[in-house]
Amino acid sequence: QAATFPNGSPRKTLVILGSGWGAVSLLKNLDTTLYNVVVVSPRNYFLFTPLLPSTPVGTIELKSIVEPVRSIARRAPGEVHYYEAEALDVDPVNKTVKIKSVNTEHEYQLDMKYDYLVNGVGAQPTTFGIPGVVENSSFLKEISDAQEIRMKIMTSIEKAASLAPTDPERSRLLSFVVVGGGPTGVEFAAELRDYVDQDLAKWMPELSKEINVTLVEALPNILNMFDKSLVDYAQDLFKQDRIDLKLKTMVKNVDKTHITAKCGDDLTKVPYGVLVWATGNAPREVSKNLMEKLEEQNSRRGLLIDEKLQLIGAQGSIFALGDCTFYPGLFPTAQVAHQEGEYLAKVFKKLHKIDQTKWELAQDNTNDPKAQSKLNRLESQIQPFHYEHMGALAYIGSEKAIADLAVGESKYRSAGSFTFLFWKSAYLAMCMSFRNRILIAMDWTKVYFLGRDSSV
């Protein structure tokens, strides 16, 4: 794309950090002919996170929930440059972002200039500094995490199968523990139990009966964002399905074979063969570095933004969306990040008009009040972001799901097998591409007729 527009005004550079829900939603809706658009992300694909908990046990194949960034960029009306790199540091004064390639065979580091920057780097899993978590557990955030969990499950099962039934090591290896009763932990525990009961039970009937799935949650109940009736339904189902729920139990320490948790005044040790850690989000390094540079950024929960998604303290040149931000009432969900991306695409269209008007004014070198009022009118057209909450859904196992839906002011709640069908159709509708939709539908059909593929 030319560096200038036909009228001679410069084309501004818009750098988007990330290729997740927020960044991709922005990219898909952005008029990319208006800017030099540059996307920087260490991940050259978009990941459909809602179905990630289904992947370690093979309900859904990993390739079914990814979409290459380049294929998304290719469909944009204007040119989009993609760098497979990680943003290390942002300089809000000189408007540069330092990036480093992730490809070690083609290593580079450079300072990239921007006129506008959108931070959509998401968050990283939090450990609350609990000793031993990083070394001994697996998170469930990325493709590599799902692969690691699958490998650990299969290895544990095979090792246990070679030991005598009376060997205590066998029972430890067959103890699968999930920490964190938010939706990630709940959905994964449910998928794991399904796999053991529906698939493993067919070819290792005796061993499958010895497997324990435990979910540990610090609060008095799981799934705190759902209505109490749905939480009770999920907890009752977990009891029936033999998912051992340890509530009001806060993990304090993790070693190679056990977690140590505090329940009331007691400290208990729970052995594990596989440990999955899902206790929520913490800011990434690049966001923390940015917070340190701006006096106004005084929250440890995320980047503070205003109602137009502008980074507070960055004077209009930096925007942030999704899990890297903290704004009261907006939760770190795909739904929020997606709507924010759509909103920012509209903002950038308006900003382009504003910048064009400012450039024309500067060319005329006039203080024409009419031109100034046109500028004010354009600026006032950028309305604050308005989030429309559609509700929350979660898979809870045995082909059952819960739904806490919001339609306008009305609330609808449902749970069970019919809700599971709704859950499936809602996620198919949310997919980023037709290709993903087909592959996911095929995976579900395959599991229905042939069971899960549990090979590593």
Q: Which residues bind ligand NAD (CB under 6 A)?
A: 128, 130, 179-185, 187, 216-219, 224-225, 250-251, 278-281, 331-333, 392-394
Contact between 20 and ligand FAD per CB under 6 A: yes
In sequence order, the 6+-apart residues with CB closer than 8 A to the CB of 252 are 130, 260, 261, 262, 267
Closest approach, Cβ 313 to ligand NAD, in A, equals 25
Q: Which is nearer to ligand NAD, 224 or 381 (CB)?
A: 224
The DSSP secondary-structure symbol of 330 reads B
| Residue 413 dihedral angles phi and psi, to the nearest 5° | -125, 135
The DSSP secondary-structure symbol of 14 reads E
Instruction: Tokens 């050259």: give the residue.
Output: 44
Q: Is 158 helix (H, G, I), strand (E, B) or coil?
A: helix
Identified binder of ligand FAD from the candidate list 22, 182, 283, 313, rule CB under 6 A: 22
Q: Which is nearer to ligand FAD, 99 or 254 (CB)?
A: 99
* Cα–Cα dist 31/77, whole Å: 7
Contact between 43 and ligand FAD per CB under 6 A: yes
The DSSP secondary-structure symbol of 122 reads -
* Residue at shortest CB range from ligand NAD: 182
Contact between 196 and ligand FAD per CB under 6 A: no
In sequence order, the 6+-apart residues with CB closer than 8 A to the CB of 227 are 404, 411, 413
The DSSP secondary-structure symbol of 11 reads P
Give yes or no for a contact between 119 and 103, defined as CB atoms under 8 angstroms apart.
no
Contact between 245 and ligand FAD per CB under 6 A: no
**x/- map, 206-235, ligand FAD, by CB under 6 A:** ------------------------------
Closest approach, Cβ 126 to ligand FAD, in A, equals 12
Contact between 38 and ligand FAD per CB under 6 A: no
**x/- map, 67-106, ligand FAD, by CB under 6 A:** -------------------xx-------------------
- For residue 58, the partner it binds in ligand NAD, ligand FAD, none, with Cβ less than 5 to 8 A by kind, is none
Closest approach, Cβ 291 to ligand FAD, in A, equals 14
Contact between 121 and ligand FAD per CB under 6 A: yes
* Cα–Cα dist 218/279, whole Å: 10
| Residue 321 dihedral angles phi and psi, to the nearest 5° | -145, 160
The DSSP secondary-structure symbol of 386 reads -
Q: Which is nearer to ligand NAD, 34 or 251 (CB)?
A: 251
- For residue 217, the partner it binds in ligand NAD, ligand FAD, none, with Cβ less than 5 to 8 A by kind, is ligand NAD
Q: How many CB atoms lie within 10 A of CB 407?
A: 9
- For residue 52, the partner it binds in ligand FAD, ligand NAD, none, with Cβ less than 5 to 8 A by kind, is ligand FAD
Largest CA distance in the chain: 89
Tokens for 125? 């899993």
Tokens for 14? 């818009």
Identified binder of ligand FAD from the candidate list 14, 27, 40, 294, rule CB under 6 A: 40
Distance between first and last Cα of the chain? 45
- For residue 281, the partner it binds in ligand NAD, ligand FAD, none, with Cβ less than 5 to 8 A by kind, is ligand NAD
Contacts with ligand FAD by CB under 6 A: the residue count is: 33
Closest approach, Cβ 177 to ligand NAD, in A, equals 11
Q: How many CB atoms lie within 10 A of CB 205?
A: 9
Distances (CA, A) of 261 to 217, 248, 258: 10, 10, 10
Contact between 39 and ligand FAD per CB under 6 A: no
Closest approach, Cβ 233 to ligand FAD, in A, equals 18
Contact between 145 and ligand FAD per CB under 6 A: no
Closest approach, Cβ 416 to ligand FAD, in A, equals 18
Tokens for 177? 């523990």
Identified binder of ligand FAD from the candidate list 95, 141, 170, 172, rule CB under 6 A: 141
Contact between 65 and ligand FAD per CB under 6 A: no
Give yes or no for a contact between 161 and 204, defined as CB atoms under 8 angstroms apart.
yes
Q: What is the DSSP annotation of 244-270?
A: EEE-SEEEEEE-SSEEEEEETTEEEEE
Contact between 184 and ligand FAD per CB under 6 A: yes
Give yes or no for a contact between 218 and 246, defined as CB atoms under 8 angstroms apart.
no
Residues that bind ligand FAD (CB under 6 A): 17-23, 40-43, 49-50, 52-53, 86-87, 120-122, 140-141, 184, 284, 286, 322-324, 332-335, 337
